[in-house]
Amino acid sequence: MSASLAGKFQDHYDVLGVDPKSDSETIQQAYSTLAQKFHPKNAAMGNKEKFDAVNLAYEILADPLLRREFDKVKGVGQDEGSPSFSGTEFFEALGRETSLRATLLCILYDRRRTNPLRPSLSMRQIENMLAWTSEELVFTLWYLKQRNMVRSDDKSSLQITVEGMDCLETNMPAPEAIMPFFKGRSQA
C-alpha cells in the first residue's frame, strides 16, 4: 500500500464501483477490469496510486472476514430509514428476556458453586450450552453486565458476581422457565 493511502479511509465499494450487496464474482470482475486499466505498465491509463487502491479494495472485499469487518465500519446492513416498533413481537420477547437472563445467571451460579477455583466460563462454552441466537446472548450479557450481575475476567470469560447471586436467590426461577433454553446435551 502506498504511503498516500495509509491512514485514509477508503470506501472499497466505491473504488471498485460495486454495490455493497455485490457477490464475490462481481467484485472479482470489477477488480480484474480496474487492475488492468490502472496497472502501472499500462501506458495509456496506468496510475500507481489508483492501482494500489484497487488492490487494497479487492484484498479486503475478497476475504469474507475482512469484508465483514469493513462492512461494520462502513455501516453496511445497518437499519436505514425510519425506526419502527416490532409490535406484538416485542411483548412476546419481553417475557423471554427475563427467562434468558435467569438462565445465564443459573449457568454461572452453578459453575461458581461446583467449581469455585475456576468459576468462569468462556463465551464458546456458554454458546455451546444454550439454544439462543447470538443477538439474544449479546443483549442478555449487556443487561447483566450493566447491572453488575456478571463480569468478564482477565481472559474475557464470564462469571457471576455477588449481585448476580443475590438476584437469582431473591427471584428464584422455576425450572420449567429455564430448561427449554438449553441444548439437549448441556444438562447433566
* Confidence class for position 4, pLDDT limits 50, 70, 90: very low
185 exposed, middle or buried (CB, 10 Å; 0-12, 13-18, 19+)? exposed
> Does residue 158 contact residue 126 with C-beta atoms inside 8 Å?
yes
- The more confident residue out of 116 and 79 is 116
The Cα 124–Cα 104 span in angstroms is 13
What's the pLDDT at 79?
A: 56
Q: What does the pLDDT average to over 4-20?
A: 79
> Does residue 88 contact residue 107 with C-beta atoms inside 8 Å?
no
Q: Compute φ and ψ for 63, nearest 5 degrees.
A: -95, 115
- A 10 A CB-CB count for 62 gives 14
> Does residue 121 contact residue 108 with C-beta atoms inside 8 Å?
yes
| pLDDT one-digit tens code per residue, 83-128 | 677 788 888 788 888 999 999 999 999 999 999 999 999 988 998 9
Q: What does the pLDDT average to over 151-180?
A: 93
Burial 159-178 (b: 16+ CB within 10 A, else e): bbbeebbebbeeeebeeeeb
- The more confident residue out of 159 and 74 is 159
The answer, yes or no, to whether residue 82 has pLDDT greater than 90, is no
* Confidence class for position 135, pLDDT limits 50, 70, 90: confident
What's the pLDDT at 176?
A: 92
> Does residue 167 contact residue 105 with C-beta atoms inside 8 Å?
yes
Q: Give 181's contacts (C-beta < 8 A, 6+ positions apart).
A: 99, 100, 103, 130, 131, 132
Element containing residue 151 per DSSP (H, E) = strand 150-152
C-alpha 77: how far from its chain's center? 13
Which alpha helices (DSSP H) does the chain contain, by range? 12-16, 24-38, 48-62, 64-74, 88-114, 123-129, 134-146, 162-170, 175-178
pTM confidence score:
0.55
